[in-house]
Structure 1
Amino acid sequence: MTSQSSTAPGPTIRVGLIGVGNWAKHGHLRVLKLLHQYEITAVYSQRLSVSADIAREYGVKHVMQSVDDLVNHPDVDLVIVLTTAPQHADGVRAAIAAGKNVYCEWPLTHDVNISKELVDLAHAANVRHIVGLQRRLAPHNRYVHDLIQQGYIGKLRSVRIHVSMNYFQPSRSIALRWTVPPENFSSVIAIYAGHFLDMLFASTGWPNELSALVVNQFKEVTIIETGEKLPNSTPDQMVLTGRLADEAVLTVHIEGGKRNGSGVQIDITGTEGDLRITNRSAFGGAGDNYKVEGARGDNLPLQVLPVPDAYNQLPPSELPSSVLELAELYAAYSNDVRDGTKTAPDFSDAVRMHELINAAVTSSETGRHIVLAASES
């Protein structure tokens, strides 16, 4: 996971979008407009008027009447599934059946067994598959990975991460109503733990055992626009302890609905030095950039370690940091297509993360210490 080279000219990747909700508009459409490697050629939404508006704004040639029409269109090379988690499998299956490469947002599906089925289908069809765990490809994270690999901190001894956000309070917008039902696997733990633990473990390696406490403190959710009150059993906090390779200790705290002072802090301790990675925002708006600090030796103040320019592979823009992370994923995938490499996370990565979150829930419910499957190098 070293710094990636700037994207060189390659074949244009023609994409078709299934679903154009808030994150599609805030993130994907802006990224695809920024990156010259991509062209949006088709769009489908359950509301035709939404598709038509997107087509006018972004110059999309084809407004499709159905998912099947989109995935089978000859002008689509990559299908991008941007619906809610319970709807993902239908769009992904359709893309695979059409022999098209497919990107799906995280969570891949609401059920890990369905996600495993999609991995098998994609492999059988020999199509490329990508999942939206983009934070691992952020420049700061690739830099931290390389610092660890190059021995900056010596042997890894401990890793601690605290991620908190103002979102997922007991009062939520109607746009987040679908996050309430537990069967949708769309809680703060499913979404944010998935993103941030994937980011962390891409740098430090994965745990091989864990114990966890997963709790729900908001027993009822009120929809702000309508006043509707919904019983809520989805978790809003997770505390996890575990062990990485070579006996390194892992501590995780994911905390939704924090009113003030939220953000991200990661502390990485080694035998020779320390690293700290911080951000005032877990989501990442304009100016919410990660700061990497470090020191080698004893009782030294942490010094800012600027991320070298070589880790940035994007054209200049004013896009917010969360969107730039997504752009890094798209840039990585286009490089993979051009070079025959595999740097973009795929459905197998989604399955692995889903299994880890399930293991944390099982540990919390049973009080058991869970030994995980052997990690891959």
Structure 2
Amino acid sequence: MSTVTSIRVGLVGIGNWALHGHVRVFSLLSQYEISAIYSQRQDSARAAADQFGIPNVAESLDELVNHPDVDLVVVLTTAPQHEEAVRAAIAARKNVYCEWPLTTSTAISEELSCLTKHAGVRNIVGLQRRHAPHNRYLQDLLQQGYVGKVRSVRIHVSMNYFQALRPNALRWTVPVENFSSVIAIYAGHFLDMLFTATGWPVNLAGLVVNQFDTVTIKETDEQFSTTAPDQMVLAGQLENGAVVSVHIEGGKRNGSGVQIEITGHEGDLRITNRSAFGDVGDDYVIEGAHGDNLPMQVLPVPECYLRLPASNLPSAVLELAELYHAYAQDVAEGTHAAASFEDAVRMHKLLDAALETSHTGRRALLAS
């Protein structure tokens, strides 16, 4: 898969999502090759290098970011560890990808975004769902006036994960200071997806609550108190006056998934998925009706929106591949379509506003 024009990737971290998602994406896309890997768990890094034919195993973060065969540093550690690796990549003048959440605080994320501009390095944040075929199609439907002027937008996202009983692999999601709750992770992903298509809110009021104040680790029976939120409800308005309502909930026992409804003066759209994560076949379905009192009809995503090589990868992994496809195109054409650190800062600020209004009971105004 290595070519003269390949983007040479250096992986920082090799956990579950790195193996389930990123490594498989780089195997799918011919624009990339993994040239180096670093992990604090050196045995895991060497095992991955042996399994996937990665030629270089760095013994330190500094060695990885300064490696001559690395063009793009890909940060796949947990949120509290992101800042260190991103700063190292910027200092080495290397383009950098970082998972969402970018960091554990808005101020630090904003600083990193500014540093990338001063250093002249490209940056990507893992808000990949905005690039999915269904969302690009939805955006075009709205811009082309399928529903006319939008009057209301409603989204409900729920998942079985983040219950009071959690596997050890999710231990890091328990401390509120890690900014790794269901709200930080899933609300960030899905609100970015939605508002990329509909436009962003200009004001909102929120209710953010914790209903699992004690979390038990499944494998060890350890118990931890936590204030990390597991439900969020928002109400607000888009720039054109449309009403927005949001409900994000973790720990839903049954019937979880994604439901979005968009109502306009001339029609309606409904977007659904039986999963908030996305296994093989968990694809979004778009339905619409243009007119009055008509049955909703499935609107298949046109072939022109499908731009990845054929594969049997899970839908969540294909969404990630769409982000990397967009970045490779940016590098080749000098564009800036891939989700960036600026987009991460905007989401940080939106979630900050939700928390603030939940505490104060006052509506927050957002920058357009």
Q: Deviations over 1:327-359 (max 9, x none)?
A: 000000000000011110100100000110010
The answer to whether 1:281 aligns with 2:275 is yes
The answer to whether 1:30 aligns with 2:18 is no
Q: Deviation at 1:148?
A: 0.2
Q: Is the 8 A contact 1:10 1:37 kept in 2?
A: no
Pick aligned residue for 2:43 from 46, 49, 64: 49
The answer to whether 1:11 aligns with 2:10 is no
Q: Deviation at 1:10?
A: 8.2
Number of the residue aligned with 1:352: 346
Q: Is the 8 A contact 1:10 1:338 kept in 2?
A: no
Q: Deviation at 1:179?
A: 0.4
Number of the residue aligned with 2:124: 130
Q: Which runs of 4+ in 1 moved over 3 A?
A: none
Pick aligned residue for 2:356 from 339, 362, 370: 362
The residue identity in structure 1 corresponding to 2:335 is T
Q: Deviation at 1:201?
A: 0.3
Q: Is the 8 A contact 1:109 1:115 kept in 2?
A: yes
Q: Deviations over 1:56-94 (max 9, x none)?
A: 111100011000000000000000000000100100000
Q: Distance in 2 between matches of 1:245 and 1:157?
A: 11
Q: Deviation at 1:42?
A: 0.1
Q: Deviation at 1:249?
A: 0.3
Q: Distance in 2 between matches of 1:312 and 1:343?
A: 17
The answer to whether 1:259 aligns with 2:258 is no
The answer to whether 1:156 aligns with 2:150 is yes
Q: Deviations over 1:195-227 (max 9, x none)?
A: 000000000000000000001011100000000
The residue identity in structure 2 corresponding to 1:135 is R
Secondary structure at 1:246 match in 2: coil
Number of the residue aligned with 1:6: none
Number of the residue aligned with 1:108: 102
The residue identity in structure 2 corresponding to 1:205 is G
The residue identity in structure 2 corresponding to 1:16 is G
Q: Distance in 2 between matches of 1:271 and 1:182?
A: 42
Number of the residue aligned with 2:177: 183
Aligned length: 366
The residue identity in structure 1 corresponding to 2:59 is Q
Q: Distance in 2 between matches of 1:62 and 1:52?
A: 9
Secondary structure at 1:208 match in 2: strand
The answer to whether 1:294 aligns with 2:288 is yes
Pick aligned residue for 1:147 from 126, 132, 141: 141
- Identity over aligned pairs, percent: 68
What is the TM-score normalised by the length of structure 2?
0.99
Q: Distance in 2 between matches of 1:70 and 1:10?
A: 21
Gaps of 5+ in 1: 1-8
Secondary structure at 2:25 match in 1: helix
Q: Deviation at 1:142?
A: 0.3
The residue identity in structure 2 corresponding to 1:222 is T
Q: Distance in 2 between matches of 1:359 and 1:26?
A: 33
Q: Deviation at 1:244?
A: 0.2
Number of the residue aligned with 1:4: none
Q: Is the 8 A contact 1:165 1:282 kept in 2?
A: yes
The answer to whether 1:330 aligns with 2:324 is yes
Alignment of 1:182-261 (within 5 A): 182-261=176-255
Pick aligned residue for 1:21 from 7, 15, 18: 15
Q: Deviation at 1:11?
A: 1.9
